[in-house]
Each structure stands twice: as C-alpha cells, then as structure tokens.
Amino acid sequence: MQKILFKGPNISMKNENPDIKEIKTLADLPSGTGSEYFINVHGSEFFYKPTNLGLWGKIKSYFMPEPSYLSMSIFSDEGTTSVLDITLLNKIQNNTIANQCNIVHIFSCHSGAAQHHLDWIQGNMVLCTYNKASDANIIQLAQNNYDARTQNDFLLIEYIRDHFHLLVASDFSISYKLDDQIYSFSLSANKIKNMKSIAELPAFLHKEYKAFVKFYKNIHAQYHESYPEIFNLNIETKPKELTDDDLIRVFSRALTLETYNFNKFSLSKIETMLNQKGLYTDTSIGNAIEQGNSELLLCLLNYGNTKVSTYNLDKAIEKGDLAILKFVLEHSTTKIELYNLNKAIEKGDLAILKAVLEHSTTKIASYNLDKAIEKGDLAILKAVLEHSTTKIASYNLNKAIEKGDLAILKAVLEHSTIEVGRSNIYTAEERHNLDVIELVKKYYNSTINTITSEENTIDTTLTVVEEVPALGEGTEGI
C-alpha cells in the first residue's frame, strides 16, 4: 500500500523515507486504491451541545453526554482551517475506489475521539489512534510511532506486535470498519499506573496481548479473503520478549502521560509509579513546571533518578513562578548555563533573575552582560553588575555606548573593573551623542589619572630603593 503523510500547520515531523508522499491539504488527497495515511496535526476535543432540549433531554444529556469529536487544524487555500474527524476521514474515503480499504493513523492530542463516530464514516477503514487525551509530549510520541511504523516494510500487525508494550502505555485504540461492521479494541495504561512493582508488568502485557490476538483472529477469519491487503498475515500468538529497558520505557511513557493530564487522582498513581527505579522523569518535570504544580514537582524532584535539565530550568524561568523556580534551583543536579542566565535576563523579572544569580554555579559571561545591556532595564543590569564574577570587557562598554541610554552607560562605567580605552572614545564619537561622549571621556580621564597615580607610586618606591647604600659601604656614625 502507498504510504501518505498528511501534515498540518506548525508540525515538524521528520520524514526520511522518500517513498512516502507528503501532502498538506484536502485537495492533495490521492484518488484510487487504498493507502496507509499518517495524519499528524494539532487536535482538540470538540463537544456538540444540542439546543432546545426538554427536561428529560437535559437529564439524559447530563448523565449520557454525546461522544466527543476530534477537531483538527489543517492547511487550506485560505491559510489554515479546522475540520472534524468525520469530514477528513470521509474525504479520504470518497477518494478511494469502492470495496478498497484505507489504514489511517492519527497523531494528535485527543486522537482517540476520532473513534467515536466510525458509523458515520463511509466505506472500509482501519483506524489507529494513539492517545485519548491531550499531551505536551505528543510531538515526540508521534515521531517515535511514525518512525517505528515506516522505517521498515513490516505489516501493520507486525508493527503492533513489536511495539505492543508501548502502545498499551499510550492508550492505543484500533478499529476495523469492514462491510458496515465495526470491530474495536482499546488498550489502557490505567492498571500500569497502579502497579506496585515492575514485576507485575510482564504478566499484564501478556494478558492484554492474548486478548488482542483473540480479537484479531476473529476478524481475520471472517475477512482475510475479502481484504487480503489488510489481512495478509496471521498474527504471531506469542508476544515479543521484553528487556528490563523495555519495561522501564513502558512505565516512563505512562508516567509522562499521567503528569500531563494531572487530576485529583493522579498524585497517588504517580507516587506508586515512582517506586520503580530508572524511570525517565525529564518530560514529567517539564509538565509539572508548566502547570505550576509544586506538589507534583517536588514529588518528581525527590525521585532518585531525577536530573534537572537545562531545558527544564529554562521552563521554570519562563514560567515566572518564584516558588517553582526555587524548587528547581535547590535540586542537587541543577547547574546554571549561560543561556539559562540569558533567559532570566530576557524575562525581566528581578526576583527571578536574583534567584538565578544567587545559585552557586552561576558565572557571568560577557555574553550575559551584553544581553543585560541590550535589555535596557536598569534594575536588571545592576543585579548582573553586582555579581561577584562580573567583569567589564571593552566590547561590553561599546555595547552600552551604542545603546545610548545614559543611565545604563553610567552603571557600566561605575563598575570596579572598568577600563576605558581609546577605542571606546572612538565608538562614542561615532554615535554623535554629546552627552554620551562627555560621560565616556570623563571616565577615560579618570582611568588615565588612576594609572598615572599608580605609576608615580611605583617610581617613588624605586627611588627609595636606589638611595640604600651598597653592600659593604659604611656610613659615619653607624
């Protein structure tokens, strides 16, 4: 089957397979035989609320709400537009020859909502969705799932078997709509999140895989002759053998999804999962920072395997929550890099910047000082200038001169490490700003006087030394 990548706006998915056709609009959809589509878009869950309901209708709607829809952002002739899952899937189906079958993978937030209305979809389709909720890490998950599916010639059923453990952690769902009949199978990570030991995981995965084998065999027996392009291989009844690293990846993925979709029941699940050693917590920490969830953040920071990345430190600075930032700064693995300090300077929040400056690993580079000068915020600049590691270089002074802000320039000129040179005078004169020129010359003269004074002190000392009698000479009275 031809493989087709459908990419929406602001999607950076990489496709390294030249045999996979990339399209962006509904008008680009091919016509003909069935294909395997990979729809990578930004999605949101849409709930339709009927109007003019009577009392009974309102009660029924409250206790049995209508299933949600998936709204997807795609390119159009006018730029971008939103389409419902039903619209996009039916457009694919309408371009396909009757009795052919398409395979469709949807990589987006809330992709599982597309499973709700298959009865409204025309023709034959296999629909794969990879998560039921929103997920900040969906971009990386989508890339991982896409690469796993397209980097070899495996059939769909082989792909599912080899990656079954990770699909369970992602709340994967698959539906077969064939001859107007719908057969669905869904996986859930909920039981994983409540496991007290990783030792429970293999038995659970075997049980889930056994259930999937039974599901697939029933459909295969009924449809393999009608749709050989879909059912051209019997399923392997034994699951893939998993290593300890594979099991850790399952827990780490489940942890990531739970932290992003955090609710009042999540903390106890997360604490239970963190009993496992070796989990990847970096993305989860980023989720906790973005949410401003100090309770979750502390839980993750106290985990033995946690290391604070510079990326998450940047997130904490950008968040602007001082308490959250301090939790991150207090972690033993936190180290301030030059670009973290620049992020704090750009943020322009004095309390945030001071917290970063007070960290034991902070060192001011000329690059950071330039950034503070460019910022033009006097309080921010003074905080940087007051740091014990700050040293003014000639090009920092030139940056302040070019800025043309007298208060900024004076603050730089007053620093204890300043040395005004002729090149700085030339830079000031090129700006044709008399106030700037006079201020720089004032400190230039001060520097010259200081140097002259120091030279005189040295000369005097040398003169005294010269007046000491040579060794062996006597002096009357001694």
Please tell me the predicted confidence (pLDDT) of residue 454.
Answer: 46
Query: What's the length of the chain?
Result: 478
Please tell me the predicted confidence (pLDDT) of residue 54.
Answer: 56
- How far apart CA 328 and CA 298 sit, in angstroms, is 9
Q: Is 97 exposed, middle or buried (0-12, 13-18, 19+ CB in 10 A)?
A: exposed
Q: Are 17 and 150 in contact (CB under 8 A)?
A: yes
Instruction: Give the residue carrying structure tokens 């990589």.
Output: 107
Please tell me the predicted confidence (pLDDT) of residue 477.
Answer: 38
Please tell me the predicted confidence (pLDDT) of residue 58.
Answer: 52
Amino acid symbol at 173? S
Which residues make beta-bridge pairs with 183? 176
Question: Given its phi and psi angles, is residue 313 left (phi above 0), alpha (psi -120 to 50 degrees) or beta?
Answer: alpha
Please tell me the predicted confidence (pLDDT) of residue 467.
Answer: 41
- With a CB cutoff of 8 Å and minimum separation 6, the contacts of 306 are 281, 285, 300, 331, 333
Please tell me the predicted confidence (pLDDT) of residue 462.
Answer: 37
Nearest to 86 by CA among 53, 58, 127: 127
Q: Is 478 exposed, middle or buried (0-12, 13-18, 19+ CB in 10 A)?
A: exposed
Instruction: Give the residue carrying structure tokens 């309080």.
Output: 379
Which residues make beta-bridge pairs with 96? 32
Per-residue pLDDT tens, the chain, 478 aa: give them: 899 999 999 888 888 888 899 999 999 999 999 999 999 998 888 776 655 655 655 555 555 557 888 999 999 988 999 999 999 999 999 999 988 999 999 988 889 899 999 999 999 999 999 876 555 455 667 777 788 888 777 889 999 999 999 999 888 999 999 999 999 999 999 999 989 889 999 999 999 999 999 999 999 999 999 999 899 888 999 999 999 999 999 999 899 888 988 889 999 999 999 999 999 999 999 999 999 999 999 999 999 989 999 999 999 999 999 999 999 999 999 999 999 999 999 999 999 999 999 999 999 999 999 999 999 999 999 999 999 999 999 999 999 999 999 999 999 999 999 999 999 999 999 999 999 999 999 988 766 555 444 444 444 343 333 444 443 444 333 3
- How far apart CA 158 and CA 170 sit, in angstroms, is 18
C-alpha distances out from residue 371 to 340, 365, 395, 443, Å: 12, 10, 12, 23
Amino acid symbol at 3? K
Q: What are phi and psi of 319, to 5 degrees?
A: -60, -40
Please tell me the predicted confidence (pLDDT) of residue 51.
Answer: 57
Q: What are phi and psi of 18, to 5 degrees?
A: -65, -15
